[in-house]
Structure 1
Amino acid sequence: MKKISLLILVLILTSHFSCERDDICPETTSTTPRLIIDLHDFSNQEEKKNVLDLRVQGVGNNEALPGYDVVRATDDLILPLRTDSNTTQFKLHINYLKKEDGTIEGNEDIITISYSTEEIYVSRACGYKTIFKNVTLTIEPDGENWIKLKESLTDNQSIEDETKAHFILYH
């Protein structure tokens, strides 16, 4: 009987000490960051200014970005960048209105974000994240741009976190 009790005790202790902690990536762990753009008033550049009836979609995509299918008013944008390419383009359409006959009203500007990517190991549970380096933003001229000016908030812009804005668009 003592041998069986000892065997059970050994099995329990062995199984307890050989278990590994679950590999779950905590929500607080920083992952691939998104681009943050503040929207400011062109005439008073220190002031943030709302854009009304904004719709944001990727170029080549027919659907709006989640959360950006006609936002009534916002003074910032949080946009995902492609990790499988060195550029991402977005259509920023203000005063967006789709009429019953299918025609669309408003003013659409296209921005292009160019960058290089670098993968960084986070942990076994979280895997890798991508950071973006040498980020530039250009506004495609169309003769009727509602975006008047852009400003990078640092030289050799890199996007490594989501704690502060990376660019300002003036309108």
Structure 2
Amino acid sequence: MRKPFIIIPILLLFVALTSCEKDDICPGDSSTTARLYINFYSSTNPENPKNVFKFRVQGIGNDQVLADYNAVTSNKVYLPLKTTENQTQFRLHNDYAVNNNGTPEDTSDDYITGNEDIITISYNTKLEYVSKACGYKTVFENVTITVEDDGDKWINYILSTTDNEPISDENEAHFNLFH
């Protein structure tokens, strides 16, 4: 008669343990909000990738310099887009340098040399559910890029490689920049 009293709690404990879900952890390889991926090419020979020397990227509106792109040599760039707005702007510098005006101790008279172009990236955003642990990611749709013409552009033109498909991952380039 005591066996049913022991079996029932054990059975209830077994059912409770086997029906629990494991902790839902977002894996590192999970899809997240993609950055805009741009490759650089020669405008005179469009089939050839072309480096930008002393390349620097600075956000406009937050004035943040992207750490991976501060006076480096590169033939591509990954740009984070604002997820709460429909537009992001960046200053792209070619041959970036700071001239200290012969007074290295006095930074008040320093000025930037090189060629700066300002790009404006316009888009629509859409939230896409990833999973319970990962939540949502932002997908960018109808992405366009314009280059401000200051009379001294180093960027000749930018072409989409995705035929205006939504940007949801950064495994393949979304745009090609020709200079």
- TM-score between the two structures when normalised by the length of structure 1: 0.89
Aligned-partner Cα distance in 2 for 1:7–1:69 = 67
> How many residue pairs get matched?
170
User: Could you tell me which residue of structure 1 aligns to residue 161 of structure 2?
Assistant: 153
User: Could you tell me which residue of structure 2 aligns to residue 75 of structure 1?
Assistant: 75
User: Could you tell me which residue of structure 1 aligns to residue 62 of structure 2?
Assistant: 61
Aligned-partner Cα distance in 1 for 2:87–2:13 = 55
1:110 aligned to 105, 114, 118, which one? 118
Aligned-partner Cα distance in 2 for 1:134–1:122 = 21
After TM superposition, give the deviation of residue 65 of structure 1 in Å: 1.4
Identity of aligned residues (%): 49
Structure 1: which amino acid aligns with 2:158? K
After TM superposition, give the deviation of residue 128 of structure 1 in Å: 0.6
User: Could you tell me which residue of structure 1 aligns to residue 96 of structure 2?
Assistant: 96
After TM superposition, give the deviation of residue 97 of structure 1 in Å: 1.1
The structure whose Rg is larger is: 2
Structure 1: which amino acid aligns with 2:141? K
User: Could you tell me which residue of structure 2 aligns to residue 26 of structure 1?
Assistant: 27
After TM superposition, give the deviation of residue 60 of structure 1 in Å: 2.0
Q: Which moved more, 1:54-63 or 1:28-37?
A: 54-63
Listed as ranges, the gaps of 5+ residues in structure 2 are none
RMSD across aligned C-alpha pairs, in angstroms? 1.9
After TM superposition, give the deviation of residue 113 of structure 1 in Å: 0.5
Listed as ranges, the gaps of 5+ residues in structure 1 are none
Aligned-partner Cα distance in 2 for 1:154–1:14 = 50
After TM superposition, give the deviation of residue 25 of structure 1 in Å: 0.7
The answer on whether the counterparts of 1:136 and 1:157 sit within 8 Å (CA) in structure 2 is: no
User: Could you tell me which residue of structure 2 aligns to residue 143 of structure 1?
Assistant: 151
Aligned-partner Cα distance in 2 for 1:67–1:150 = 21
* Structure 2 CA distance for partners of 1:157 and 1:143, relative to 1, 3 Å: farther
- TM-score between the two structures when normalised by the length of structure 2: 0.85
